[in-house]
Structure 1
């Protein structure tokens, strides 16, 4: 079964953003059911769905707690999500996957909670140089100068100021704690790779650059590390560093990773349900 959000304006229809994926699933004979995303976020969703032994969610981002609540509600209906709540949390939040990919991703430190003093303490562990600020699930890269980029990790006044601005922008969406990643210089565009059962099954452009798929992608170092994480369905965003090495920018749960507009949604559905 494929689970997608319903249209907020007409719950009897699929959310337009996921409608093409739902249509592709139906065309392949895969059952599709809708969930109320807004109700899931509020924590008051009432789920009444037909039973299914292998359900995959393709929808808007959920916090780990919201996903856990959805999984419990679905289980009561006899619906078993392919990705368990602990697996979702491990993929969705950087501390869950960082150690496994440490050698192929920028060096990172993090805090628990939003205390700016703890941010300063964590940042000292990286020493000098530049960094990038985010929380466990998201950066504010569209506010690069004021809430994301840390040009000098030893400039504690600037780190504290940028941290405060980041908190202001993230507001109630702030998740887990601060993460500071060492800045690395990249070249070209990102590729989004899609992994099912620890195997890369698709490579697409990143949704932010849907017309630009980098060439020469090499996953030889990355592939065994992602497989070792043993997560059911994830995306791994990769980009080339200026020295030629391919680096992991982000790992995310595939259920809430956006699909590029230029790619065929049937490719994704076929990769998720190959037995059909």
Structure 2
């Protein structure tokens, strides 16, 4: 079963952003059910969010494809589905591990920029993270997201040794993230990349699809990618469905920029819904 967010104004239809995936899933023979994402994430509760999800008579497995939710919201979502005899293939623990950087960083430390993070948003915690990472340039984010579109004011820190300037960037980041701020500040060592990001899709530790990043959907990623170093590390996470974003560093080494839960990772417009669904569900010929 594929679970998708319903259109806010037309709740019997999937959200327009995921309508293509709904159509492709049905054509591939999958059952599709719609959830009320707003009810799930803005206080309506997980039970109300599932009003349009039929309750099967026997246990069914499901994959969610939709908008991002906090780890605690996903847990409530999974519990409410389980009470209806529907089990998400990605458990709440697995979702948090893929969705939040501290969950996957240690396993991928050799192939991703060095990082340090805080729990919460206090100045003292931020100062300790600066010390842990050491002086030099860094990129700021929280456990789930950066503000890279505000690069100079809320993402890039030229030198962590300049604590006042670094804290100013952190304060602006915190202001922009507002209620969406998740977990704490994450400082990542700045590395110089010479390619657009490439988004790869992995099912049970196997890379099933390679394409552009949704932010740069027309940048052709069909290049010689060497996944030799990353492949066993991603497989060792034992996560059922994740995305791994790569970029080429200026020394010719492919580096992991981000891991995300595949259920809430956006699909670039240049990958067709049919190709996508066939690859992530194994329904292709």
**TM-score when normalising by structure 2:** 0.95
Q: Is the 8 A contact 1:190 1:213 kept in 2?
A: no
Inter-partner Cα distance in structure 1 for 2:236 and 2:153: 37
The aligned counterpart of 1:15 is: 15
Map of 1:1-276 to 2, 5 A cutoff? 1-43=1-43, 44-45=45-46, 46=48, 47-48=50-51, 49-50=53-54, 51=56, 53-214=60-221, 215-274=223-282
Q: 1:273: Cα distance to partner?
A: 2.1
User: Which of the pair is proportionally richer in strand?
Assistant: 1
For residue 225 of structure 1, give the secondary structure of its aligned residue in structure 2: helix
Inter-partner Cα distance in structure 1 for 2:265 and 2:133: 29
Inter-partner Cα distance in structure 2 for 1:72 and 1:258: 24
Q: 1:275: Cα distance to partner?
A: 5.5
Q: 1:268: Cα distance to partner?
A: 1.9
Q: CA RMSD in A?
A: 1.1
Deviation digits for residues 239-273 of structure 1, max 9, x if unmatched?
A: 10000000000000000000000111112211222
For residue 243 of structure 1, give the secondary structure of its aligned residue in structure 2: coil
**Which ranges of structure 2 fall in alignment gaps of 5 or more residues?**
none
Query: How many residues are aligned here?
Result: 276
Deviation digits for residues 182-211 of structure 1, max 9, x if unmatched?
A: 000000111100000010000011111111
For residue 76 of structure 2, give the secondary structure of its aligned residue in structure 1: helix
Deviation digits for residues 4-25 of structure 1, max 9, x if unmatched?
A: 0000011011100000000000
Inter-partner Cα distance in structure 1 for 2:152 and 2:186: 17
Deviation digits for residues 73-130 of structure 1, max 9, x if unmatched?
A: 1111111100000000000000000000000000000000111221011111122210
Deviates more, 1:243-252 or 1:212-221: 212-221
Q: Is the 8 A contact 1:2 1:31 kept in 2?
A: yes
**Which ranges of structure 1 fall in alignment gaps of 5 or more residues?**
none
Q: Is the 8 A contact 1:120 1:159 kept in 2?
A: no
**TM-score when normalising by structure 1:** 0.98
